[in-house]
Amino acid sequence: EESSNSSEKGFVLLGFADEPWLERILFIIILLLYIFNILGNTTIILVSCLVPKLHTPMYFFLSNLSCVDICFTTSVAPQLLVTMNKKEKSVSYGGCVAQLYVAMGLGSSECILLAVMAYDRYAAVCQPLQYTTIMHPQLCASLASIAWLSGLITSLIQCSLTVQLPLCGHRKLDHIFCEVPVLIKLACVDTTFNEVELFVASVIFLVVPVSLILVSYGFITKAVLRIKSAAGRWKVFGTCSSHLIVVIIFYGTIIFMYLQPAKSRSKKQGKFVSLFYTIVTPVLNPIIYTLRNKDVKGAWRTLVMRNGL
């Protein structure tokens, strides 16, 4: 049975099956976080689109981020919740491959989008007088398109290379969803090329954006320290620190998963780390950007009153 082809039989996603009590707790947490994700991110998209005051580059990118987050978590959470509820943890080969492509594409897009948002904050804080000239609608649309397209391209390359690896009947994925590093480890041939290629892509999508974000925040910090009024300083720090918290959690956990040699990572650590960037961070975005933001709260109130809800 084990020697039969994985493409006919699909995979077994072990997840947290060895600890049923943990699986039950995680099921409730993941379900709640997923619901909050959908509600929070949909709210941001609606408010950004329907309230003219929020037709600014920051909210344009934020609604793009919300859209990525909804799709990214949806590519993982529903299937994870279903397998957690089943005794037989199987997932079809087609389902696994689809998840591989979609999750990799959206995760990569988010990496680029967060860097774009840092550039937008840099332009707003460091070049306030030229801000509207710099961040004109065409540039915003181009930057958002680059984020979406780069995710699509890297996903097509990465996943196509991974899917071609012979697995020699290995079907058990000791992970929570179908992810490139985990599938590479299942292969029964030398995977040096795949690992090097994944490492290079990870540097492009993780190290480069993080470096750009840190540089832009260096300039932002310098500019903020020059602001005379304490209230003004705190306002800018509030907006930027929110973005930075999301950035640290999101990139930190993905770097742990993708830039560490596969051998040196414990399987359990890998599962929890993956939960963070697929389920937890996408919920933090709306919480951090909306609950701490007077503009969004005000716009939401206006929208609710206008529609008599």
Q: Is 56 exposed, middle or buried (0-12, 13-18, 19+ CB in 10 A)?
A: middle
Tell me how far apart the alpha carbons of residues 293 and 110 are, in angstroms, rounded to a whole number: 21
- Tell me, what's the pLDDT at 1? 36
Whole-angstrom CA distances from 57 to 63, 136, 265 are: 10, 8, 39
Question: Nearest CA to 77 among 286, 285, 279?
Answer: 279
DSSP letter assigned to residue 49: H
Q: Rounded to two decimals, what is the model's pTM?
A: 0.88
- Tell me, what's the pLDDT at 3? 39
Region of residue 29 (phi > 0: left; psi between -120 and 50: alpha; otherwise: beta): alpha
Where b means 16+ CB within 10 Å and e means fewer, 178-202 reads: bbbbbbbbbbeeebeebeebbeebb
- Tell me, what's the pLDDT at 291? 60
Find all residues with CB under 8 Å of 93, minimum gap 6, and list them.
6, 7, 8, 9, 10, 11
Tell me how far apart the alpha carbons of residues 99 and 117 are, in angstroms, rounded to a whole number: 26
Tell me how far apart the alpha carbons of residues 74 and 78 are, in angstroms, rounded to a whole number: 6
- Tell me, what's the pLDDT at 42? 92
Tell me how far apart the alpha carbons of residues 73 and 280 are, in angstroms, rounded to a whole number: 9
Task: Count CB-CB contacts under 10 A for residue 306.
Answer: 10
- Tell me, what's the pLDDT at 4? 44
Per-residue pLDDT of the chain (309 residues; tens, 9 = 90+): 343 455 557 898 888 888 888 999 999 999 999 999 999 999 889 888 888 888 899 889 999 999 999 999 999 999 999 998 888 888 999 999 999 999 999 999 999 999 999 999 899 888 888 999 999 999 999 999 999 999 999 999 999 999 999 988 778 888 999 999 888 888 889 888 998 999 999 999 999 999 999 999 899 888 888 877 787 778 777 767 777 888 888 899 898 888 876 666 677 788 988 999 999 989 988 887 766 566 777 777 777 777 665
